[in-house]
Amino acid sequence: MTDPNNMTPEEFTLSLVPTPDDLADAGAWLAAQTRLDPQILLQLYIDAYEKGRLFHLLVAVGETAVRATHLRDDPEALPTLLASIAQHRLTQESE
């Protein structure tokens, strides 16, 4: 298993490109999350951990979210997301 903390910058950059299998696992993760199915979530987590792909699963879930929300394609999407995050943090701090 490759530890992201011990990767060269080039290796780390390459690790940010999910494989088709990583993206399939990310899709399964999101489907299980949508259904609130802890058994499938735990199995996907265990499988990724055992394959040394836990970091890659996290990256693939993030990439799937980026693609689904058009964060790279829509110039307004990222500022909207950042504003939403800031608003959420303000709301949390005031509670």
For residues 72 and 79, what is the distance between their CA atoms, to the nearest angstrom?
A: 11
DSSP 17: S
Reported pTM: 0.77
Q: What is the pLDDT of residue 84?
A: 95
For residues 48 and 60, what is the distance between their CA atoms, to the nearest angstrom?
A: 11
- Quick one: CA dihedral 52, 56, 61, 62, positive or negative? positive
- Burial of 22 by CB count in 10 Å (0-12 exposed, 13-18 middle, 19+ buried)? buried
Helical H runs in 17-94? 20-34, 38-50, 54-68, 77-94
For residues 45 and 47, what is the distance between their CA atoms, to the nearest angstrom?
A: 6
All structural domains of the chain with their residue ranges: 15-94
Residue keyed to tokens 């910058």:
9
Q: How confident is the model at residue 3 (pLDDT cuts 50, 70, 90)?
A: confident
pLDDT tens for each residue of 14-69: 877 889 999 999 999 999 999 999 999 999 999 999 998 898 999 999 999 999 99
